[in-house]
């Protein structure tokens, strides 16, 4: 087995080539030192939970001494003065931090386009990885690291995980500390893990919470007899044929595994309007947060970001109350439609990756907004797709606090699982 130091050098070499524009900044010296310390601990049998695992960190999460710009040109000169809580927990578990990954500007978007240009898909140069945690997803899918941290407000972990064929988790709100994370809207923001292996999501979540890694409950280890919700009416969201086909195959696997399926009509919820409500409130919050900085340095924000912040600044109190009510109405409808279900299984996004040269899809977060507005945990795991096809992600949603269930079902449903 290669030493941590050898794997770290190889990872840094791949990251420094950065042909994907996945990396914002690398800490080669710090990573190699941490790797050598991990090798020493492993040699004396003192390895910890994540000993020697190589991590990429999204650029809106504070790491002491590293740039802390959150993808904003206006913050390019700023450095973090201390670690975010989740970074301290990774260090305590033995993780080796490689550097910061690129992200959509201010985390307000899902195009996979950073202020340094587009983040390229590892399978198709010039195609989108989604966002806003696109750099973390690209670095993982390309094999530059073992795991990554992202943030998810309306789908920013789950969308790039889906488009890149990896796994990611948006935890239950409040479960993982946001201290040291640049906010988009703290009511909707989450920090979560990303991995190529869906089985890693649960232990990573335990570490991010500062808890010992425990086994998943035995009850969560099978699909037989589970009462699960599945969607009908997805044509209303303009799902692509590739997404519909992959989702249909997943439903067939569920049925063959003995799950009890209950259909839910997605048209009940008018998800595009729910997504627009959450996004508008985020634009409002970010406009207020950056009002002073924008006045002092308007060139520190791209024209696209300026437009979104201008819109947020124009929203009235009545507008915001109307959006809040729309979210509350959705949550009531969601709770009623899913009562008695252990989990719901949906696609992550109506679309797969698209060329950066194409107009970005406006519906990309129409399904991920469910977990945001409903306040529940959600995982993205890869679906089975035809050889050579672009990845498609499957979303597992469960009631608040049932993160173990989401992770376990994700393991069972991920493409290639022998236990599904």
Which of 156, 162, 195, 250 is the catalytic position? Answer: 156
Whether 156 is a known active-site residue: answer yes
What is the number of residues in the chain? 420
Contacts of 137 (CB under 8 A, 6+ apart): 129, 130, 148, 150, 160, 161, 163, 164, 166, 168, 194
Catalytic pick from 5, 38, 128, 132? Answer: 132
Separation CA 230–CA 249 (nearest Å):
12
Is 58 catalytic? The answer is: yes
Distance in Å from the first CA to the final CA of the chain: 30
CA angle, residues 197, 392, 332, in degrees to nearest 5: 95
Residue 306 falls in which region: left (phi positive, over 0), alpha (psi -120 to 50) or beta: alpha
Q: Is 417 a catalytic residue?
A: no
3-state secondary structure the chain: CCCHHHHHHHHHHHHHHCCCCCEEEECHHHHHHHHHHHHHHHHCCCCCCCCCCEEEEECCECCCCCECCCCCHHHCCCECCCCCHHHHHHHHCCCEEEEEECCCHHHCCCCCEECCEECCCCCCCCECCCCCCHHHHHHHHCCCCCEEEEEECCCCCHHHHHHHCCEEEECCCCCCCCCCECCCCCCCCEEEEEECCHHHHHHHHHHHCCCCCCCCCHHHHCCCCCEEEEEECHHHHCCCHHHHHHHHHHHHHHHHCCCEEEEEEHHHCCHHHHHHHHHHHHHHHHHHHCHHHHHHCHHHCCHHHHHHHHHHHHCCHHHHHHHHHHHHHHHHHHHHHHCCCCEEEEECCCCCCCECCCCCCCCCCCCCHHHHHHCCCEEEEECCCCCCCCCCEEEEECCCCCHHHHHHHHHHHCCCCCCC
Q: Which of 38, 58, 162, 280 is catalytic?
A: 58
Catalytic site residues? Answer: 58, 132, 156
């Amino acid at each position: 087995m290669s030493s941590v130091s050898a794997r770290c050098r190889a990872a840094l070499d791949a990251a420094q080539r950065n042909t994907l524009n996945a990396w914002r900044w690398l800490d080669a010296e710090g990573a190699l030192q941490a790797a050598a310390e991990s090798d020493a601990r492993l040699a004396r049998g003192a390895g910890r939970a994540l000993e020697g695992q190589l991590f990429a960190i999204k650029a809106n999460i504070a790491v002491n001494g590293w740039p802390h710009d959150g993808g904003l040109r206006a913050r390019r000169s700023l450095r973090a003065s201390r670690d975010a809580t989740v970074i301290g927990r990774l260090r305590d578990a033995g993780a080796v931090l490689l550097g910061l990954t690129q992200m959509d500007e201010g985390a307000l978007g899902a195009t996979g386009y950073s202020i340094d240009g587009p983040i390229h898909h590892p399978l198709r140069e010039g195609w989108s990885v989604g966002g806003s945690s696109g750099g973390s997803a690209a670095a993982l899918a390309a094999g530059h690291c073992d795991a990554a941290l992202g943030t998810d407000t309306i789908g920013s972990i789950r969308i790039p995980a889906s488009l890149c064929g990896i796994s990611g988790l948006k935890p239950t709100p409040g479960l993982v500390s946001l201290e040291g994370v640049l906010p988009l809207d703290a009511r909707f923001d989450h920090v979560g893990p990303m991995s190529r292996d869906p089985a890693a999501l649960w232990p990573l979540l335990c570490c991010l919470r500062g808890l010992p890694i425990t086994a998943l409950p035995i009850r969560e280890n099978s699909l037989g007899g589970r009462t699960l919700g599945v969607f009908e009416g997805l044509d209303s969201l303009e799902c692509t044929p590739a997404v519909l086909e992959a989702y249909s195959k997943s439903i067939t696997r569920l049925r063959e595994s003995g799950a009890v399926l209950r259909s839910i009509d997605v048209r009940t919820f008018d998800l595009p309007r729910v997504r627009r409500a959450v996004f508008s409130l985020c634009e409002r919050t970010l406009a207020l947060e950056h009002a002073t900085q924008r006045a002092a340095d308007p060139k520190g924000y791209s024209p696209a970001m300026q437009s979104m912040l201008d819109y947020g600044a124009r929203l009235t109190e009545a507008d915001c109350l109307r959006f809040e009510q729309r979210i509350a109405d959705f949550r009531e409808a969601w709770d009623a439609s899913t009562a008695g279900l252990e989990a719901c299984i949906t696609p992550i996004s109506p679309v797969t990756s698209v060329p950066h040269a194409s107009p970005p899809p406006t519906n990309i977060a129409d399904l991920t907004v469910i977990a945001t507005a409903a306040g529940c945990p959600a995982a993205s795991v890869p679906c089975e797709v035809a050889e050579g096809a672009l990845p498609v992600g499957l979303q597992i949603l469960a009631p608040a606090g049932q993160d173990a269930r989401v992770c376990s079902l994700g393991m069972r449903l991920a493409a290639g699982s022998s236990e599904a």
